[in-house]
Amino acid sequence: MTTLPELETVAGATVHGGPQLPRLPGFMESDFAPLVYAAVRACVGEARSEHLLTDAGDRCAIVLGSRYFDTVTLELSVEHVNRKRVNPIFFYQAVPTAVLGQIARDYRLTGPVSCVAALDDVRAEVHELARVILADGGADQVLGLVVEMRPDPALGFARADLMRAVPGPAGRKGTP
Segment 58-90, tens digit of pLDDT: 999 999 999 877 766 666 666 666 677 766 655
Other beta carbons less than 10 A from residue 175's beta carbon: 9
What's the rounded Cα separation, in Å, for the pair 21 and 135?
35
Specify whether the CB–CB gap between 30 and 20 falls below 8 A: no
Q: Is the pLDDT of residue 151 over 80?
A: no
At 171, the pLDDT band (50, 70, 90 cuts) reads very low
pLDDT in tens, 106-145: 999 999 999 998 888 999 999 999 999 999 998 999 999 9
Other beta carbons less than 10 A from residue 41's beta carbon: 19
pLDDT in tens, 158-168: 999 999 999 76
